[in-house]
Amino acid sequence: MDNAGLREQARTLFPGGVSSPVRSFRSVGGEPIPIVRAAGARVYDADGREYLDYVAAYGPLILGHAHPAIVAALAEAAARGTAFGALSPGEVELGQRICAATGLERMRFVNSGTEATMTALRLARAATGRDLIVKFEGCYHGHADGLLVKAGSGIATLGLSDSAGVPAAVAAGTAVLPYNDVSALETWFGQHGAETAAVIVEPVAGNMGVVAPDDAFLEALETLPRANGAIVIADEVITGFRLRYGLSGLLPNADLVCLGKVIGGGLPVGALGGRTELMGQLAPEGPVYQAGTLSGNPLVMAAGSAALDALQDGNAYARIDELARHLENGLAAAVRRGQVDACVVRSGSLLSLFFRGEPPRNYAEASSCDTQTFARFHRAMLDRGVMLAPSQYEAWFVSVAHSEADIDLTVRAAHEALREASPGPIAGRRVG
């Protein structure tokens, strides 16, 4: 079946014709692109078109698609059984690798980033005996009720601020502060320090586009919650094993860490971890309930271990950072040459091309981007065979499978696409 046929059938089956909202391409005025196969840095749609891929399944595919070691590990694991509902050696192996690389004393596997953050909040509330959670505007931590308040990712993409169906009482348990705003955090803790269970944060925000943390913000996160008896939850679902092998290192004293994406090698995964006594509050050792039929699934564990093996071996991170730097420089040159009101922000192999002149420091700034121009740019890049996430607010993910030639191709496409998408040179627009 071709693209049109699949879309047509999907529309009748799934809301928006998709299983996750951003995939609908709504914010860029397009239609979902059904992918039938992928290899390395490329994906292929049902019409047989090839695209150079920077979506990377929204982050997990740091090694590219269908990496041979992961495919082989999966085949081997599948032949031994696809689920046991029991402890298995694959869990122990991946758990040991993750704890060794991150310094987490204990951890639990779950099936998604959402489950990891949801459990971390429950644990933090139980451990502190307090109810209030602080999150930052534009950070996305999955779709648990209490975290769908001024979240990034699809919520930002679709221009929503919250979700319907979240009880007011649940939303009231989440305070939302601006990212990178130390004085807002100080004021909050001055007024509500004794009621605050936890602060949850993306060490580098990746869901309002890539927004880097200021040093002062990181320092405040390391000190203020602790001084007030609150728990810091580092949401490293994107950044963990993406910026380097292990955690980002930006919040070394976080009490709980959430992981996902890269650690599952492209299969559904999440994890949370922390100190022994805190993690020991989870059932069955402690009173905080959490469970999962398919948690620690042997296929996921095998893919995750194969991925971490490949990442540990050699200079994978140096290579993707170098490729991403090349891309950053090329895009910045294209922006200058085209006199476009845009800027490029990069953190490791995460990148954003924001259609605003200055890198945003928070969600208010990120949301002032010219999303119409982004939509035209996105279309123009697709026309040139480059697949970007269909949202201004999702990062571009560079993978080990990209080559220098791929980056050159992308930069050439961007030169043309910026010209095509831009309403006109900045100077011209100002005069006009």
Any idea which residue has 């990069």 for tokens?
346
User: 412: which residues sit within 8 A by CB, 6+ positions away?
Assistant: none
Choose between 137 and 235: whose C-beta lies nearer to ligand PMP: 235
Least distance from ligand PMP to the Cβ atom of residue 235, Å: 5
Here the tokens at position 340 are 């476009």
Least distance from ligand PMP to the Cβ atom of residue 410, Å: 22
Question: What are the two backbone dihedrals, phi and then psi, of residue 200, each rounded to the nearest 5 degrees?
Answer: -110, 135
- Rg over alpha carbons for the chain, rounded to the nearest Å, is 21
User: 333: which residues sit within 8 A by CB, 6+ positions away?
Assistant: 411
Sheet with strand 350-354: strands edge to edge: 343-347, 350-354, 396-397
The interface with ligand PMP within residues 263-302 (CB under 6 A) comprises 270
Here the tokens at position 307 are 């991925």
Could you say which of 114, 174, 352, 373 contacts ligand PMP (CB under 6 A)? Answer: 114
- For the chain, what is the largest distance between any 2 Cα atoms, rounded to a whole number of angstroms? 68
Could you say which of 24, 27, 88, 112 contacts ligand PMP (CB under 6 A)? Answer: 112
Asked whether position 117 contacts ligand PMP by CB under 6 A, the answer is yes
Amino acid at position 151, single letter? A
Asked whether position 260 contacts ligand PMP by CB under 6 A, the answer is yes
Least distance from ligand PMP to the Cβ atom of residue 267, Å: 11
Could you say which of 25, 140, 317, 393 contacts ligand PMP (CB under 6 A)? Answer: 140
Here the tokens at position 218 are 């990181």
Asked whether position 237 contacts ligand PMP by CB under 6 A, the answer is yes
* Measured distance CA(250)–CA(397) in Å, rounded: 20
* Measured distance CA(275)–CA(286) in Å, rounded: 14
Contact 341, 357 (CB under 8 A): yes
Least distance from ligand PMP to the Cβ atom of residue 206, Å: 6
Is residue 336 classed as helix, strand or coil in its secondary structure?
Answer: helix
* Measured distance CA(300)–CA(320) in Å, rounded: 24
* Measured distance CA(340)–CA(423) in Å, rounded: 9
Question: In the stretch 40-59, what mask flags binding to ligand PMP with x, by CB under 6 A?
Answer: ------------------x-
Site size with ligand PMP, rule: CB under 6 A? 17
Q: Which of the ranges 139-147, 172-180, 325-333, 351-359 carries the binding residues for ligand PMP, by CB under 6 A?
A: 139-147
Smallest CA-to-CA distance from 127 within 277, 228, 261, 227 is with 277
Catalytic: 235?
Answer: yes
350-354 and 396-397 strand pairing: antiparallel
Least distance from ligand PMP to the Cβ atom of residue 345, Å: 16
Choose between 267 and 340: whose C-beta lies nearer to ligand PMP: 267
Could you say which of 113, 225, 246, 338 contacts ligand PMP (CB under 6 A)? Answer: 113
Could you say which of 224, 238, 369, 414 contacts ligand PMP (CB under 6 A)? Answer: 238
* 209-231 CB burial, b ≥16 within 10 A, e <16: bbbbbeeebbebbbebbeebebb
Catalytic choice (181, 235, 370, 406): 235
Catalytic: 363?
Answer: no
Q: Which of the ranges 111-119, 216-224, 272-280, 415-423 carries the binding residues for ligand PMP, by CB under 6 A?
A: 111-119
Catalytic choice (53, 261, 370, 406): 261
Choose between 153 and 410: whose C-beta lies nearer to ligand PMP: 153
Q: Which of the ranges 136-144, 173-181, 208-216, 360-368 carries the binding residues for ligand PMP, by CB under 6 A?
A: 136-144
Asked whether position 373 contacts ligand PMP by CB under 6 A, the answer is no
* 140-161 CB burial, b ≥16 within 10 A, e <16: bbbbbbbbbbbbbbbbbbeeee
Catalytic: 261?
Answer: yes
Contact 276, 105 (CB under 8 A): yes
Catalytic choice (51, 58, 140, 363): 140
Choose between 116 and 342: whose C-beta lies nearer to ligand PMP: 116
* Measured distance CA(424)–CA(158) in Å, rounded: 26
Asked whether position 141 contacts ligand PMP by CB under 6 A, the answer is yes
**Nearest-CB residue for ligand PMP:** 113
Asked whether position 146 contacts ligand PMP by CB under 6 A, the answer is no
* Measured distance CA(296)–CA(302) in Å, rounded: 10
Smallest CA-to-CA distance from 208 within 391, 335, 53, 422 is with 391
Choose between 58 and 179: whose C-beta lies nearer to ligand PMP: 58
Choose between 308 and 413: whose C-beta lies nearer to ligand PMP: 308
Question: In the stretch 193-222, what mask flags binding to ligand PMP with x, by CB under 6 A?
Answer: ---------x---xx---------------
For residue 416, what is the enclosing H or E element? helix 404-421
Asked whether position 347 contacts ligand PMP by CB under 6 A, the answer is no
Known catalytic residues?
Answer: 140, 235, 261
* Positions in the binding site for ligand PMP (CB under 6 A): 58, 112-114, 117, 140-142, 153, 202, 206-207, 235, 237-238, 260, 270
